[in-house]
Amino acid sequence: MKLIQTLKKQFSSNKKYFKNDFLAGITVALALIPEAIAFAFVAGVSPIISLQTAVVIGLVAASITGRPGMISSSTAAIAIILAPLIAQYGLEYLFATVILIGVIQIMMGVFKLGKYTSIIPHPVVLGFLNGLAIVIFFAQWAQFKRDGIWLPTPDLLIMLGFVGLTMLIIHYFPKITKAVPSSLVAIATLTLISVILSKNGIYSLETVQDFAGIELKGGLPSFYIPQITISWEVLQVIFPYAFIASLVGLTEATLTLRVIDEMTDTKGKTNKEYFAQGLANVVNGFFGGMGGDAMIGQSIVNIKSGGRTRLSGLVAAIALMMFIMFASPLVNAIPLASLVGLMFMVVISTFKWESLKYGKNIPREDFIVIIAVSLITIFQDLATAVIIGVLLSTVMFAWKKGKKMYVNTMTGNDGSKIYKINGVLFFGSVLNFKSLFTIKEDPKKVVLDLKYAKVMDYSALEAINSIAEKYKLAGKKLIVTRPGESCKQLLKDAERITSIVIDHSHDPTHKATADI
């Protein structure tokens, strides 16, 4: 009863979005077709496998997604990773690998590892989006060629005209009405124009079909158990591919989720999305699919077209299945130029143009990260770009924080020298910390006052211990006083592996000191 009430409540709250969700789903389905076919060629499989993958993953992921509005399908990132496996071992190994990808992703969702995605800095996201936009932009130019050769001038001019007209409709139609997604209007208008021109002999129907470049003929995806015996030897082959692909897929899903969160001012559920992506890949593997994940480009198309609930993703998958089964003649009439124009508009909306104006307005380190991640996304891949971006941000943060270490020195009533440290003491600042002490010139008794310092990790304890040992070898004594609560706990935990001992006798007013 409670479940029924919950469903009714969700239906009532989302009812206002249903029309736009339906139309956005149709738009996405049309845009998915050429991309899915392109990914099939990248992976080295039949286009129908990629198209059916888009259907299965789209249906399963949208059904239980943690981020309504997100579109999942076969993707270039997964295709590139699995292409060598397919070429060497064949489709049976591919299907087993896709199932294992899903299992790994499900485990990551179950163990709630999505919380660690918060470590991805905003400059990394900006760099990824800029790089992705550039990759999408250059990928579209392949559609202006046949067999690696530019189209003849008349066909090229027609295609460029269609692209420009598509972009104009998408840009200006919302000023007339937002009742229908402008991208769907553009595709329908250009298809109608294409058919009319071809029937009036402006150019041949074959030219229109060449623009589409799509031959669809297939049925419902069918259940299939991979014909492979799982053994240690097989796992040694498929696990590295599955592990890398699962991380790449979840990275794309995470960044897509964050982008949609910002676009819609809502909050998705990362761990639930991990589970959804994993289950989608498991089911996909048992239906003879090539694997996939979230698609940021198509997700942006969906959001820009008005898609807001899981219905848009479900409609996209179902519509794509209908196109495959029943509407191949209709789809063949769609000029690819209209889809290219749609993707160019995605490029414009994806690229963070404001980042070009940042320059000196943001820290230099962040600007470097944006540029680095953009370039690595273009010339390498998303996963590598994000990993390097996070590492680069971490190193730069550590370097920046490590330089901010200050010390005030004074002489105590008993002739001791007091070092009052102000700053964060961690692995990135230990060298700067050690350079503050003048051991040879200091008196027999030295006090290290940590009241205004934050001791963060074992590297910091090791640095304190190292200084204490040097004073000890010089026949001098170091007293650590007034450590913070976190520092006291670290000192206590490290008693057995360092010479640092907590002693309360030196500073009765503060309750906690350490005599080393």
On whether the CB atoms of residues 470 and 435 are closer than 8 A, the answer is no
Q: How confident is the model at residue 81 (pLDDT cuts 50, 70, 90)?
A: confident
Residue 298: both structure tokens together: 């198509």
CA 1/CA 229 separation, integer angstroms: 45
For the ranges 53-67, 297-311, 373-387, the lowest mean pLDDT is seen at 373-387
Whether residues 341 and 436 share a domain: the answer is no
Alpha carbon of 483 to those of 407, 414, 471: distances in Å?
15, 21, 19
Structure confidence at residue 231 (pLDDT): 92
Q: Give mean pLDDT, residues 92-119.
A: 89
Alpha carbon of 415 to those of 254, 441, 448, 449: distances in Å?
58, 13, 14, 15
More confident residue, 401 or 277: 277
Asked if residue 482 belongs to a domain, the reply is: yes
Whether residues 227 and 339 share a domain: the answer is yes
Contact residues for 168 (Cβ-Cβ < 8 A; gap 6+): none
CA 286/CA 29 separation, integer angstroms: 23
Entry pTM? 0.65
Host domain of residue 331: 16-143+179-350
Q: Which tens digit of pLDDT belongs to each residue from 446-492?
A: 888 888 888 888 888 888 888 988 998 999 888 888 887 767 777 66
Indicate the SS3 state at residue 229.
Answer: coil
More confident residue, 485 or 61: 61
Whether residues 323 and 417 share a domain: the answer is no
Whether residues 278 and 208 share a domain: the answer is yes
Whether residues 344 and 414 share a domain: the answer is no
Q: For all residues of the chain together, what is the average pLDDT?
A: 81
Q: Give mean pLDDT, residues 360-383.
A: 82
Residue 380: both structure tokens together: 């390498």
Q: Give mean pLDDT, residues 88-115.
A: 92
State the DSSP code for 16: G
Structure confidence at residue 38 (pLDDT): 64
On whether the CB atoms of residues 97 and 242 are closer than 8 A, the answer is yes
For the ranges 130-134, 199-203, 231-235, the lowest mean pLDDT is seen at 199-203
CA 194/CA 188 separation, integer angstroms: 10
Q: Which of 25, 26, 31, 33 is nearest to 52 (CA)?
A: 33
Structure confidence at residue 364 (pLDDT): 80
Q: Quickly list H helices, 305-442.
A: 310-326, 328-332, 336-350, 364-379, 382-403, 430-434
- Structural domain total, the chain: 2
- Quote the percentage of the chain above a pLDDT of 90: 25
> How many Cα atoms sit within 13 Å of 472 on the Cβ side?
11
Amino acid at site 235: L
Structure confidence at residue 14 (pLDDT): 66
**Which residues does residue 409 pair with via DSSP β-bridges, in sequence order?**
419
Whether residues 480 and 344 share a domain: the answer is no
CA 469 from centre of chain = 46
Structure confidence at residue 505 (pLDDT): 47
Asked if residue 367 belongs to a domain, the reply is: no
Give the DSSP H or E segment for 211: helix 205-212
Structure confidence at residue 80 (pLDDT): 75
Phi-psi group of 482: left, alpha or beta (phi > 0 → left; psi -120 to 50 → alpha; rest → beta): left
3-state helix, strand, coil in the chain (%, to 5): 65, 10, 25
For helices 296-304 and 18-43, give the axis angle rounded to 10 degrees: 160
Amino acid at site 297: G
Structure confidence at residue 331 (pLDDT): 66
Indicate the SS3 state at residue 425.
Answer: strand
Whether residues 324 and 415 share a domain: the answer is no
| Residue 510 pLDDT > 50 | no
Q: Which of 412, 406, 366 is nearest to 389 (CA)?
A: 366
Work out the number of other CB atoms within 10 angstroms of the CB of residue 264.
15
Q: Which of 271, 332, 287, 229 is nearest to 114 (CA)?
A: 271
CA 363/CA 356 separation, integer angstroms: 14
On whether the CB atoms of residues 52 and 285 are closer than 8 A, the answer is no
For the ranges 129-133, 200-204, 347-351, 484-488, the lowest mean pLDDT is seen at 200-204
Whether residues 86 and 227 share a domain: the answer is yes
Asked if residue 152 belongs to a domain, the reply is: no
Whether residues 125 and 219 share a domain: the answer is yes
Whether residues 268 and 200 share a domain: the answer is yes
The residue from 350, 375, 396 where one domain ends is 350
More confident residue, 92 or 404: 92
Contact residues for 4 (Cβ-Cβ < 8 A; gap 6+): none
Asked if residue 112 belongs to a domain, the reply is: yes
CA 153/CA 134 separation, integer angstroms: 25
Asked if residue 203 belongs to a domain, the reply is: yes
More confident residue, 73 or 404: 73
Alpha carbon of 205 to those of 92, 105, 212, 214: distances in Å?
39, 45, 11, 13
More confident residue, 318 or 345: 318
Q: Tokens 């996304």 — which residue? A: 377
CA 36/CA 198 separation, integer angstroms: 27
Q: How confident is the model at residue 316 (pLDDT cuts 50, 70, 90)?
A: very high
Contact residues for 149 (Cβ-Cβ < 8 A; gap 6+): none
Structure confidence at residue 41 (pLDDT): 67
Whether residues 192 and 317 share a domain: the answer is yes
CA 382/CA 245 separation, integer angstroms: 11
| Residue 440 pLDDT > 70 | yes
Indicate the SS3 state at residue 470.
Answer: helix
On whether the CB atoms of residues 477 and 445 are closer than 8 A, the answer is yes
Q: Which tens digit of pLDDT belongs to each residue from 216-244?
A: 566 788 899 999 988 999 999 999 899 88
| Residue 516 pLDDT > 80 | no
Which of 107-116, 175-184, 204-213, 359-368 has maximum average pLDDT? Answer: 107-116
Structure confidence at residue 214 (pLDDT): 47
Whether residues 345 and 413 share a domain: the answer is no
CATH classification of the domain holding 468 = 3.30.750.24
Asked if residue 151 belongs to a domain, the reply is: no
Asked if residue 120 belongs to a domain, the reply is: yes
Asked if residue 275 belongs to a domain, the reply is: yes
